Chain A
Amino acid sequence: MAEVKAVVEEVQERTPEELDWTKCDAICAQYAGFKGATIPVLQKVQDAYGYLYKELVERVSENLNLSSHTLYGVITFYAQFYTKPRGKHVIRVCRGTACHVKGSGRISEVVFEEFGIRNGETDENKLFTLEEVSCIGACGMAPVIMVDDKTHGNLTPEESRKIFRDYASGKMDE
């Protein structure tokens, strides 16, 4: 089970896009009458809207005819559901065994030094979110990080710093 997550987000003004339920309703309709739909629906809705904010969870709960308590029970249990906005890039630092014995703890420190964020946090500019994950499964090239869906391996702390700065400066978006 993931760390206990605060599920209360500060009250936000929602944009019209965030309150446009077309996608959400379509996803729920796709799974109508489908056994065990809760997790796939939440996954797809999260993909479409970025994260699971209060109004969105309520909308899903009406659609699936499940209480929002039940949904939050599921959302808070699994590490891959997010109840807070996330950065443009997600840095996943692998904290698996092989990475740990090869010093991946230092790489998390580098992220903190560069952007002031700890595990699960997003920086002020909404550019980066740091996630420490249990194992990316690329132990042969420890220590490993993933930025979005790109894997970088055999890193030293300083090499990781350079990669983060490249993302920060937009060099990686080209």
Chain B
Amino acid sequence: MSEYKVEQIEVHVCMGTAGVASGGDAVMAALTGEFEKRGLTNTGVKERNCKTKQTGCRGLCARDVLIDVYIPGQGPITYEHVTAEMVPTIVEEHIVGGEIVAKWAAKKDYFEFYDKQKRYVLNDCGKVDPDSLEDYIAHGGYDALKKSLKMTSEEVIDEVKKSGLRGRGGGGFPTGLKWTFCRNSPGDLKYLICNADEGDPGAFMDRSIIEGNPHAVIEGMLIAAYAIGCKEGYIYCRAEYPLAIKRVKKALVDAEKAGYLGDNVLGSGFEFHLKLKEGAGAFVCGEETALIASIEGERGMPRSRPPFPAVKGLWQKPSNVNNVETFANLPVIILNGAEWYANIGTEKSKGTKIFALSGKVKSTGLIEVPMGISVRELIFEVGGGIPKKRKFKAVQLGGPSGGCLTEAHLDTRIDYDSLIAAGAMMGSGGVVVLDETNCMVNVAQFFLTFTQRESCGKCIPCRVGTKTMLDILDRITSGKGREGDIERLESLATDIKISSLCGLGQTAPNPILTTIRYFRDEYEAHIFKQKCPARECPELIEFVVVDERCKKCGICKKVCPVDAITWEKGQFAFIDKSKCVKCRECIVNCPFNSID
């Protein structure tokens, strides 16, 4: 965590999506009210004046609302799980009285979350006010742009090439090389597009960057536009991200007013106009050619490449599409230099990568780590391990295009190439941890339900193939699996991978292939024994209390929403099957795994 100096007392409130959802607005209002009530906003002594500031997501969403109290001359103190009711005490004891409220202050485990991280791209997320251009500039914002404008565009591209930056959208194509293609395409008018259509379920880094530091993305785009020679740009943002849209809209207006965007950027003669396009809800629009079709106002259908967008893209003009995180890396590279950047990470995967850590892990949230960190470090050190004393089972990397890794892969290094070798892929960086209560067949079915629904229908392998695979999985999870189903899935998956038109279809079978590869026994249990070992597929659970394991605690009776469980103190629980709706609340909540 870098140093941040204050001249007066500042309280920073996390107002990312998770912060707001946990009651950030109320905490902010309580703080402001408390300061005014006590006359702390204008005490006559500058160092004693208090103000609040909203910041974006700092990553540890599991503990929102998080606030940082900055007192001049002292390091920040962080409080977690803050509610409006706690505010008067914090103001009274800490801000006025000078005594930290120890019971609510962040402890060792909060800081452990950051120990292994290297936050360069996210450095200002959680520190700057995303609605304030001045605050961004105070944190060194737009310095990288000024530095770039003093270089030639070739020098900027060379710097990016030397840094070894690869596309953060998931494919991992070398960014500098991609720019060169577009730069070398003939034509005066070229387009730059920021892909903020983050549709992968389980990934939220793009949204957090835009919500937490929108100007960093705009600055990255300006650097890219200058290097490639683009005059016009679009940020294509998911409609499902209202807060991100609101903040980026404001940032665009402010940047234009201040001369960072427009006909003559900072008086340098370089021209760049940037617009926001709101998506309308289609996962396939994350594929660059589909995204371009969508900006043109069509159904978002991919088209075959070549010609690549670098040659014929938006409105048939050369276009360059990069992901949000790729753009956010650029100011870091330009300011610190390519050599410094290339020293982070592994031989072929440079820099840091942001991951969205979620699922069955203690510290869920957004993390930025150097490439090459192991899966084990990611889950057990940064993420703090598995909650409820359960056992780790698998981790799904790269969303619906990726695959799962198991206990045996915990020491796999996380970089583009190692992950592909292990059968997963970097994807956009979603990491979903699964424990022993998650059924792998169900996970495969979940992803396929998603890809099948989101398939645009243009090519037959994807349209019909995903549907056929899903039908088989639906059968297996409902106890109607047949001999030969596993082999059928494998052969369909291989064909679909080879023959689909775009990345959606080419990668849709990955979750199935990896779950079969590493958890074939679970598939077999479903098909041949009519059992779901993880007790997640309701059709394959008996809902019977096993007396040998039942500790007579009665928790299951408390959580049953339909009163199907009878239990008395000192007695075994009993489930009445005529009332049971198979909702699995009893299974999820029983600490002794005593329901089969």
Contact = CB atoms under 8 A, between A and B. Distances in A.
A74 B280 CA distance: 10
Interface string A118-145: 0000000000000001111111111010
B405 to A, nearest CB: 15
A79 interface: yes
B22 A141 contact: yes
A151 to B, nearest CB: 4
Given A138-B204, A140-B364, A149-B242, A77 B299 contact: yes
Interface in A124-174: 133-142, 144, 149-153, 157-158
B360 A140 contact: no
Given A1-B284, A139-B202, A77 B300 contact: yes
Interface in B559-591: 561, 583-585, 588
Interface residues of A, number: 46
Nearest to B366: A140
A101 B241 contact: no
A137 B241 contact: yes
Given A1-B284, A79-B280, A157-B585, A74 B366 contact: no
A109 B583 CA distance: 9
Interface string A90-116: 000001111011110010010000000
Interface string B223-251: 00000000000000011111000000000
A97 to B, nearest CB: 4
B454 interface: yes
Interface string B22-65: 10000000000000000000000000000000000000111010
Contacts, number: 161
A151 B279 CA distance: 20
Contacts of A16: none
B359 A97 contact: yes
A140 B62 contact: yes
Interface string B345-363: 0000000000011111000
A98 B202 contact: yes
Interface stretch (A6-14, A18-26, A36-44, A53-61): A36-44
B459 to A, nearest CB: 13
The 4 tightest CB contacts between A and B, nearest first, are: A140-B61, A79-B281, A96-B201, A38-B297
Interface of A: 1-3, 35-40, 42-43, 73-74, 77-81, 95-98, 100-103, 106, 109, 133-142, 144, 149-153, 157-158
Interface of B: 17-18, 20-22, 60-62, 64, 198-204, 207, 238-242, 277-284, 294-300, 315, 356-360, 364-366, 396, 399, 430, 432, 434, 438, 443, 446-447, 450, 453-457, 561, 583-585, 588
